[in-house]
Amino acid sequence: EGDVDFVFGRATAVFEHCHFRTLDRTDLAGAPYGFVFAPSTAAPNPRGYLVTRCRISSEAPDGYYKLARPWVPSSDPTARPSLVVRDTWLGPGIDAVAPYANMSDAFPWQNQRFAEYRNLGPGARVTAAENRPRLTAAEAGEHTERAYLGDWRPDA
């Protein structure tokens, strides 16, 4: 649980069956309160964060959190953040109209590798299609635990 960029960095990572919870922020007067994800994937890396079969809930008012923003650090302005959220329940705390935002106008989220597939819940409602990049079924087949981690198993 957290509030600002509480899942961030350069890793290739799979979050499966996780529960992410955003917190209420009494120190802020309005939205957005923060961002769940801030990937900073290196451009040559085809895989960043995969969020699958998870749940994102919130203590904050409806629509006060963004799902993600790209983190392009000054140490590597060639980074091309990657995040796929699929088969996940997005609660009302996620801004359904504009779930993504820029960290810097020089690196707009629309130029990064953000996509969704078969998400559910009030935060997954598509009200502005241009703000919700979608994978096709064929593309979704490239974004699985096996595609990201190969044969590696954390409990093996």
How many domains does the chain divide into?
1
SS3 35: strand
Nearest-CA neighbor of 38 among 1, 76, 2, 6?
Answer: 6
Structural domain range at position 121: 4-149
Report the mean per-residue pLDDT for the chain. Answer: 95
Q: Which amino acid is at 7?
A: V
pLDDT for the residue 152: 82
Considering the domain boundaries, does residue 156 fall inside one? no
Considering the domain boundaries, does residue 155 fall inside one? no
CATH of residue 19's domain is 2.160.20.10
How large is the average pLDDT for residues 39-43? Answer: 97
Q: What is the pTM of this model?
A: 0.95
What would the pLDDT profile of 107-136 be if each residue is shown by its tens digit?
A: 999 999 999 999 999 999 999 999 999 999
